[in-house]
Amino acid sequence: MMFRKIGNFLAKDDGDEFSLHYSLSLKDWIDFLIHLLISLIFLIITAGLLYSVDRKSDFKELISVGIVFALGLFLLCEGLSKVVRVKKNIIRIIKKENQLIHRNTLFSSKKYKLSDIERFVFLEKEQHAFGTTKKVSCIYNIIQLELKNSKTQYLLKINTNNIKRVVWKRNGSLLNIELGSITENIVKELNRNK
């Protein structure tokens, strides 16, 4: 059995089956804690506002309490999604059965025949700050599955593990060196095992 560590991913290959696993990084835990603290602040504010609201309160006050509560709940769910996600067998290639199994959530998975797969590719993406197209707030890569019928299927989003981004400019666009290397190695492993 061969094991290969690629960033926070672990590729296992025993000849008959290939699987890709993920382990949480320090950045994942810090993101979770930041979201948790901010959501708790909003939920405490909501509790204070609910305590101050009485029966004579007008509709606008009740709406504002609801908005603050919804924002706190949203941030709590966003934080939980950082740590409660698929970590084991994200992608499995079973050569004997000629199939790839992709677990996209904790409760669902998709199956593809290996004979229908053309190749695996990755795209570099930039997420822009809210309200602007100039300032990049996040850089990530997406691994996609290209099928022989010219369709593409999303498989995996890979974020950087660094708390501080290591970025350099190439042809006017931002590129994360560490992120590109991890994604490229994962795609090589997937293409080698298909």
Delimit the domains of the chain by residue range: 2-23+87-193, 28-83
Determine the pLDDT at residue 41. 93
> What pLDDT is recorded for position 171?
45
Prediction pTM value? 0.72
Mean of per-residue pLDDT scores for the chain: 81
In this prediction, the residues of the chain whose per-residue pLDDT falls under 70 are: 55-57, 126-139, 160-178
What does the pLDDT look like over 105-160, one tens digit per residue? 888 889 999 888 888 888 877 666 566 666 665 667 888 888 888 898 888 888 76
SS (H, E, C) the chain: CEEEEECCEEEEECCCEEEEEECCCHHHHHHHHHHHHHHHHHHHHHHHHHHHCCCCCCHHHHHHHHHHHHHHHHHHHHHHHHHCCCCCCCEEEECCCCEEEECCCCCCCEEEEHHHEEEEEEEEEEEECCCCCCCEEEEEEEEEEEECCCCEEEEEEEECCCCCCCEEEECCEEEEHHHHHHHHHHHHHHHHHC
